[in-house]
Amino acid sequence: MIRVVCKAKLKPGVNVEEYLILARKVVTETRKEKGCIMYTLHEDVKDPSIITTIEEWENEEVINQHNKSEHCMKIVPELRKLRESTEINNYREVK
């Protein structure tokens, strides 16, 4: 299993709800994908302009397929336009 943490800082002046409307579309479609275990949005408690997506996937192959999915190819570029920065990290559980 791989956990992906995608932390986005929105540009100044961007309406957080506008961003979330688009992001929720990605969440809805992604949860239907084979290999997706979890896909959730989180808002920073102290700074609502920081939105983090926490994902769990069966393996890297399904992540690669997700990144090529129609909804990602269409919506994610629109989300990027609203971001000041993005940090994406992939993790494996240490036992």
Give me the pLDDT at residue 52, please: 98
Give me the pLDDT at residue 65, please: 97
For the question of whether the overall pTM of this predicted structure is more than 0.85, the answer is yes
| Mean pLDDT taken over the chain | 97
What is the mean predicted confidence (pLDDT) over 13-27?
96
Q: Band of the pLDDT at 59, cuts 50, 70, 90?
A: very high
Give me the pLDDT at residue 60, please: 95
Q: What is the pLDDT of residues 28-40, one digit of tens each?
A: 999 999 999 999 9
CB 71 within 8 A of CB 30: yes
> What sign for the dihedral angle of Cα 24, 29, 32, 38?
negative
